[in-house]
């Protein structure tokens, strides 16, 4: 049975999985006696399962080997066409919205961006559960495809380990590195127990901390997928308090490095965790933000008389620490102490700090978005070496062959990606500015979409920005930016490589 399932085209497999997933909100709504919500999900799930069987039978007689180009195209379709399938029951259960808005909402969820067009009070509980579940599945999908597909193709951050960059062809790899269905199935089965187990563990822990059942489950799924999707406006509106935030903080750490997930193997930057560049850089960035916000209070106190308060200082430090890690992993949760941290530091709009953290992003081959920590680390090491060369022109850089490659060819590829990311920001900003947005909102929405950090729009500016206030043209552009940020520019460019299209 499993072999028959694996022989199905990848997109058909995704349709079948989505069909099964629709029974979760269907039975949840049935338990709440909200039949107007349960029926669309139950009927849509049943129809999709029937459709997947028909498509499997139709394609069984024309079996084709999974090629790199077909897998990349399927990934692109998964983030553009599959959300239309996900949006059908959402649209039927919420009849006062358009199918376009429902599709946009599912694109935002599946790309783990987490931006929403709807106020939390407008959606029934089962639709909140569906949004969180779609984001959870989108994070799991990226975990599997990153290590099973993007790694052999030297994309998604793995290109800096190998000289020559993303060629679109498998190099320095054996038969197991081919992006085949068996490889995807192997990593899917390897990752699922850990991914689901951590989600359940956080869910139970949040329930023990006093959080409500739906909020605890949504928070757990949103934390592991870094989607930031909640059935309430923000994390402080829940009942978990500081204890709940500490649990979320702990479970955000796997978004900083691939080494925390099964199947990392040869893709680890270092053998020892204490030397991991992604973890070290993430710790440096988070601690730097905390220290800067803390010292800014005392700098301001030189001019304005302030009252010392130990507990207020502790709350502000925790608020800064949690929020910095949350936005660095592109999750976008705010701490209950974040407002205190802003008041303590005298910071009006934290847009520059939070946007910078979101752009840097988390680890490669994790559920986080952004430029990724390892690319930034390669650029830092290259800059450090260039400064050493200016002082000591005849010096030889140490660190071994791996460190030298990271500083040279790795930094070169990282710089190319950084420039492509910057060009993407400018292009999307220009496009949505033409759609009628001013400069500041255009900048915030662009960074939020390309870094897959939807909650950034509500906290980065002087006043909260709402995704629902955008026009249809701006929504379309930002949906494309979300897909581009999730797949990354190099993966899109790789589709135009002639080597991928040769038979």
Tell whether pTM > 0.85: yes
Q: What's the pLDDT score for residue 309? A: 64
Q: What is the pLDDT averaged over residues 283-296? A: 89
Both tokens of 94, joined, read: 């919420």
Residue 226 has pLDDT above 70, yes or no: yes
Q: What distance in Å separates the CA atoms of residue 111 and residue 482, rounded to the nearest whole number?
A: 7
Calculate what percentage of the chain has a pLDDT beyond 90: 53
DSSP string, 197-217: HHHHHHHHHHHHTT--HHHHH
47-97 residue pLDDT tens: 999 999 888 888 777 666 656 667 888 899 999 999 999 999 999 999 889
Q: Could you read off the pLDDT of 120-143 as tens digits, one per residue?
A: 999 999 999 999 999 999 999 999
Distances 176 to 77, 144, 151, 171, 180 between C-alpha atoms, Å: 25, 15, 12, 12, 8
pLDDT at 308 over 60: no
pLDDT at 272 over 50: yes
DSSP state of 337: T
How many CB atoms neighbour CB 357 within 10 A?
26
pLDDT band at 193, cuts 50/70/90? very high
Q: What are phi and psi of 233, to 5 degrees?
A: -65, -40
Give the CA distances from residue 499 to residues 67, 73, 153, 166, 180, in Å, rounded to whole numbers and listed in that order: 11, 15, 12, 12, 17
Lowest mean pLDDT among 35-39, 338-342, 421-425: 338-342
Q: How confident is the model at residue 339 (pLDDT cuts 50, 70, 90)?
A: confident
Contacts of 318 (CB under 8 A, 6+ apart): 242, 245, 335, 337
Please compute, for residue 257, the number of CA atoms within 13 A of its CA located in the half-sphere on the CB side. Answer: 22
To the nearest 10 degrees (0 to 180), the angle between helices 68-80 and 99-110 is: 130
Read out DSSP for 101-163? HHHHHHHHHHTT----SS-GGGS-HHHHHHHHHHHHHHHHHHHHHIIIIITTTT-TTGGGGST
**Residue 467 near residue 117, CB atoms below 8 Å:** yes
What's the rounded mean pLDDT across residues 439-468? 92
Burial class of 44 by CB neighbour count within 10 A (0 to 12, 13 to 18, 19+): buried
Query: Do residues 368 and 255 lie in contact, with contact meaning Cβ atoms separated by under 8 Å?
Result: yes
Per-residue confidence (pLDDT) for residue 262, from 0 to 100: 84
For residues 215-219, average pLDDT: 95
For 315-334, the pLDDT digits (tens) are 888 989 999 999 999 999 99
pLDDT score at 156: 82
Q: 238 pLDDT band (50/70/90 cuts)?
A: confident
Give the chain's largest Cα–Cα span.
80
Task: Kindly report the average pLDDT of the chain as a whole number.
Answer: 85
pLDDT tier for residue 267 given thresholds of 50, 70 and 90 = low
């Amino acid at each position: 049975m499993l072999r028959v399932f694996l022989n199905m085209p990848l997109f058909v497999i995704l349709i079948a999985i989505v069909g099964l997933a629709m029974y979760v909100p269907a039975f949840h709504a049935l338990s709440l006696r909200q039949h107007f919500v349960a029926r669309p999900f139950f009927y849509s799930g049943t129809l999709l399962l029937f459709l997947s069987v028909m498509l499997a039978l139709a394609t069984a007689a024309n079996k084709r080997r999974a090629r790199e180009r077909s897998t990349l195209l399927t990934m692109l379709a998964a983030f553009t066409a599959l959300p239309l399938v996900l949006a059908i029951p959402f649209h039927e259960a919420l009849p006062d919205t358009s199918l376009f808005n429902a599709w946009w909402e599912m694109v935002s969820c599946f790309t783990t961006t987490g931006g929403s067009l709807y106020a939390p009070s407008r959606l029934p509980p089962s639709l909140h559960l569906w949004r969180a579940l779609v984001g959870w599945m989108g994070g799991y999908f990226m975990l599997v495809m990153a290590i099973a597909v993007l790694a052999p193709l030297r994309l998604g951050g793995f290109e800096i380990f190998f000289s020559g960059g993303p060629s679109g062809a498998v190099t320095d790899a054996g038969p197991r590195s081919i992006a085949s269905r068996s490889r995807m199935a192997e990593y899917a089965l390897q990752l699922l127990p850990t991914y689901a187990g951590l989600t359940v563990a956080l869910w139970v822990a949040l329930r023990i901390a006093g959080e409500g059942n739906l909020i605890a489950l949504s928070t757990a799924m949103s934390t592991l997928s870094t989607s930031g999707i909640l059935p309430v406006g923000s994390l402080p509106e829940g009942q978990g308090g500081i204890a709940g935030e500490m649990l979320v903080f702990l479970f955000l750490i796997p978004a900083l490095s691939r080494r925390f997930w099964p199947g990392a193997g040869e893709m680890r930057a270092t053998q020892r965790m204490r030397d991991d560049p992604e973890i070290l850089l993430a710790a440096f960035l988070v601690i730097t933000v905390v220290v800067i916000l803390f010292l800014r209070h005392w700098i301001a106190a030189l001019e304005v008389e302030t009252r010392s308060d130990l507990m207020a200082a502790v709350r502000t430090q925790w608020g800064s620490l949690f929020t910095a890690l949350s936005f660095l992993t592109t999750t976008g949760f705010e701490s209950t102490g974040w407002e205190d941290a802003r008041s303590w530091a005298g910071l009006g709009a934290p847009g520059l700090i939070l946007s910078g953290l979101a752009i840097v992003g988390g680890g490669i081959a994790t559920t986080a978005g952004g430029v990724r920590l390892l690319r930034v680390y390669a650029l830092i090491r290259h800059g450090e070496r260039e400064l050493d060369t200016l002082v000591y022109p005849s010096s030889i850089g140490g660190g071994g062959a791996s460190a030298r490659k990271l500083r040279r060819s790795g930094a070169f590829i990282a710089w190319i990606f950084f420039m492509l990311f910057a060009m993407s920001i400018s292009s999307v900003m220009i496009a949505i500015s033409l759609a009628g947005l001013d400069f500041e909102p255009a900048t915030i929405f662009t960074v939020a979409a390309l870094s897959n950090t939807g909650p950034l729009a509500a906290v980065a500016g002087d006043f909260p920005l709402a995704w629902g206030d955008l026009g249809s043209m701006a929504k379309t552009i930002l949906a494309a930016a979300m897909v581009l940020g999730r797949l990354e520019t190099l993966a899109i460019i790789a589709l135009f490589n002639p080597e991928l299209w040769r038979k």
